[in-house]
């Protein structure tokens, strides 16, 4: 029954996260082609800048909501109403702060106007994520998937149509924000019908207690956001051109799509892992080890494959004007390994009540990232930003390994990486020998070679394969 719950959660999380991200990627790729590297750089900066302030709207509260309500569903009505009220107040503060700071930094009026619109985007997305957290806590993830997929299905043709007709950044941003806002409204209606009516209410003592509990998560989320999104803002502040920012963001956007995989896996497993940690820590350790091996087996070939197909992938998706992107993409693709592993480690720490430790690690990661960017960007520009992202990801992974050893003694098995690592070495040798740059040749060959190596090495035991198959096996 536990495996069936996990499989069902992951399946619907895949629909809820991967499909919307893939559809959104279509919009961004088309926007990159139509707008050109300069305007795409402006749009990308505005989005990443706004997302830094968007963390104010959800300072880790969704994680707290899922953890508490998943354990006791009777809390849902009160939590929904109180959290909605808190988030509404935080949304107003986040928007005013984003606009005020961009004005204070002296950016041109065009950028201020763009941020004034794009600044609503993280607020709308935070609303969607809160709706998703409510459904996740009740393990009704199919409703979250339905809303998110419908949101992008509407957004893609409308946004692409706006670009095709020759409208610019402001019109594109307005359409995206309006689509997300409509989806939030629909999500609220679904929550009111299937779980509990949504009515804003404020109990100040409850709000204060929630904010006191959430502050370690808030610190972790903020610092993790700085670590993951601060590079684009620093590129702008340190003098990079809009074209360079556009080239960099085009490569990072591809990594973001691939990086959705570990998030959706852990989103599906998080309620179960939290439950097991409280009630059966031996099984929690077993689940962690199997998930760790799965992350290694998926991350290593994705990173190596990205390196080999960088040139052809960039030309295919963005066109010849973005060829400088491939330089950064060949570097930033190695972030995939650390994204996969760090998501697992962070979520495991939180599930084991290690929010303060997770916040400390996020702070160290943000500090390393900022320091490296300050050194690399003035010397190497957007290529330096790509390198600093990889190195800071490595540092965060090292910090998390030490933390996990204390939080889950005996659960961390570094040997889980050996067979996938050997497999990608063989895959890299074969792809190098082929000497082709075509995705149509490299991707199938890489998949076949790596798959055969893992079968030959017996990376997953019969018991682990049975557990993985059991995730989706019907009762």
Q: What is the DSSP string of 135-164?
A: HHHTT-HHHHHHHHHHHHHHHHHHHHHHHH
The confidence score (pLDDT) of residue 39 equals: 92
**How far, CA to CA in Å, does 161 sit from each of 38, 41, 125, 181, 329?**
20, 20, 22, 19, 28
CA distance 385 to 230: 10
Please report, for the chain, the start and end positions of each structural domain, with discontinuous segments joined by +. 1-202, 219-475
What contacts 250, CB < 8 A, 6 or more positions away? 32, 37, 40, 314, 317, 318, 322, 325
The confidence score (pLDDT) of residue 466 equals: 63
- Per residue in 39-63, is it b (16+ CB within 10 Å) or e — as a string? bbbbbbbbbbbbbbbbbbbbbbbbb
Backbone angles phi, psi at 122, to 5 degrees: -65, -25
Q: What is the largest CA-CA distance in the chain?
A: 66
Helices 61-71, 335-351: axis angle to 10 degrees equals: 50
Number of H helices, E strands in the chain: 17, 0
If one counts every other C-beta atom within 10 angstroms of the C-beta of residue 465, the result is 12
* pLDDT tens, N- to C-terminus, the chain (475 residues): 555 555 566 666 666 677 788 888 899 899 999 998 899 999 999 999 998 888 888 777 887 888 788 777 888 888 888 888 888 888 999 999 999 999 999 999 999 999 999 999 999 998 988 988 888 887 777 788 888 888 889 999 999 999 999 888 899 999 999 999 999 999 989 888 888 888 877 778 888 887 787 777 777 777 777 777 788 889 998 988 999 999 999 988 888 888 778 877 776 677 677 767 777 777 777 777 788 888 888 899 999 998 998 888 888 889 888 989 999 999 999 999 998 988 888 888 877 777 778 778 888 888 898 999 999 999 999 999 999 989 998 998 888 888 887 777 767 777 778 888 999 999 999 988 887 667 888 888 989 999 999 888 887 776 666 655 555 444 4
Q: Which of 371, 424, 376, 423 is nearest to 395 (CA)?
A: 371
What contacts 443, CB < 8 A, 6 or more positions away? 305, 309
- Rounding to the nearest 10 degrees, give the CA dihedral for residues 114, 117, 122, 128: -140
Helices 109-118, 2-54: axis angle to 10 degrees equals: 150
SS3 120: coil
Are 180 and 124 a contacting pair, CB within 8 Å?
yes
The confidence score (pLDDT) of residue 331 equals: 93
What contacts 240, CB < 8 A, 6 or more positions away? 248, 377, 381, 382
Are 148 and 128 a contacting pair, CB within 8 Å?
yes
Determine the straight-line distance between the first and last CA of the chain, rounded to whole angstroms.
Answer: 8
What contacts 378, CB < 8 A, 6 or more positions away? 238, 239, 384
Q: What is the DSSP string of 159-225?
A: HHHHHHTT--HHHHHHHHHHHHHHHHHHHHHHHHHHT--------HHHHHHHHHHHHHHHHHHHHHH
CA distance 192 to 188: 6
Report the run of H or E that residue 416 belongs to, with start and end.
none
Are 347 and 266 a contacting pair, CB within 8 Å?
yes
Q: Which of 417, 413, 364 is nearest to 393 (CA)?
A: 364
Are 247 and 37 a contacting pair, CB within 8 Å?
yes
Helices 242-258, 325-332: axis angle to 10 degrees equals: 40
How many alpha carbons fall within 13 Å on the CB side of residue 330?
10
CA distance 213 to 88: 19
- CA angle centred on 396, ends 300 and 215, rounded to 5°: 130
CA distance 369 to 385: 9
What contacts 425, CB < 8 A, 6 or more positions away? none
Distance of CA 148 to the CA centre of its chain: 15
CA distance 461 to 279: 26
CA distance 148 to 264: 13
Backbone angles phi, psi at 123, to 5 degrees: -70, -45
């Amino acid at each position: 029954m536990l495996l069936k719950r996990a499989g069902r959660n992951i399946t619907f999380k895949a629909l809820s996260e991967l499909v919307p991200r893939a559809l959104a990627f279509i919009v961004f790729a088309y926007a990159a082609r139509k707008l050109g590297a300069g305007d795409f750089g402006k749009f990308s900066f505005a989005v990443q800048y706004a997302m830094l302030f968007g963390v104010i709207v959800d300072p880790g509260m969704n994680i707290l909501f899922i953890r508490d309500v998943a354990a006791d569903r009777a809390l849902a009505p009160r939590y929904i109403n109180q959290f909605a009220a808190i988030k509404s107040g935080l949304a107003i503060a986040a928007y005013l702060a984003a606009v005020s700071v961009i004005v204070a930094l002296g950016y041109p009026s065009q950028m201020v106007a763009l941020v004034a619109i794009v600044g609503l985007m993280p607020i709308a997305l935070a609303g969607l994520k809160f709706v998703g957290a409510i459904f996740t806590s009740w393990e009704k993830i199919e409703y979250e998937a339905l809303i998110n997929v419908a949101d992008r299905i509407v957004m893609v043709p409308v946004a692409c149509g706006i670009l095709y007709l020759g409208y610019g950044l402001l019109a594109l941003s307005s359409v995206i924000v309006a689509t997300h806002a409509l989806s939030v409204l629909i999500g609220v209606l679904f929550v009111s019908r299937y779980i509990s009516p949504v009515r804003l209410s404020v109990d100040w003592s409850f709000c204060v207690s929630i904010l006191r509990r959430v502050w370690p998560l808030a610190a972790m989320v903020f610092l993790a956001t700085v670590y993951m999104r601060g590079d684009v803002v620093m590129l702008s502040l340190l003098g990079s051109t809009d074209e360079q920012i556009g080239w960099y963001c085009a490569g990072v956007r591809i990594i973001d799509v691939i990086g959705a995989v570990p998030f959706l896996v852990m989103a599906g497993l998080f309620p179960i892992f939290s439950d097991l940690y409280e009630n059966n820590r031996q099984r929690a350790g077993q689940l962690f080890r199997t998930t760790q091996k799965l992350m290694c087996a998926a991350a290593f070939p994705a990173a190596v494959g990205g390196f080999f197909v960088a040139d052809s992938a960039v030309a295919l998706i963005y066109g010849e004007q973005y060829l400088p992107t491939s330089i950064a993409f060949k570097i930033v693709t190695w972030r995939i390994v650390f994204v996969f592993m760090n998501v697992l480690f962070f979520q495991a720490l939180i599930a084991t009540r290690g929010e303060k430790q997770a916040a400390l690690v996020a702070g160290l990661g943000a500090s390393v990232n900022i320091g490296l960017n300050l050194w690399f960007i003035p010397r190497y520009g957007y290529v330096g930003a790509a390198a600093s992202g990889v190195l800071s990801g490595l540092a965060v992974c090292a910090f998390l390994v030490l933390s996990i050893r204390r939080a889950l003694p005996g659960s961390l098995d570094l040997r889980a990486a050996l067979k996938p690592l050997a497999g990608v070495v063989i895959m890299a040798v074969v792809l190098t020998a082929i000497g082709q740059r075509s995705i149509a040749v490299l991707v199938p060959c890489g998949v076949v070679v790596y798959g055969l190596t893992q079968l030959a090495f017996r990376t997953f035991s019969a018991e682990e394969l049975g557990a993985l198959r059991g995730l989706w096996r019907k009762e």
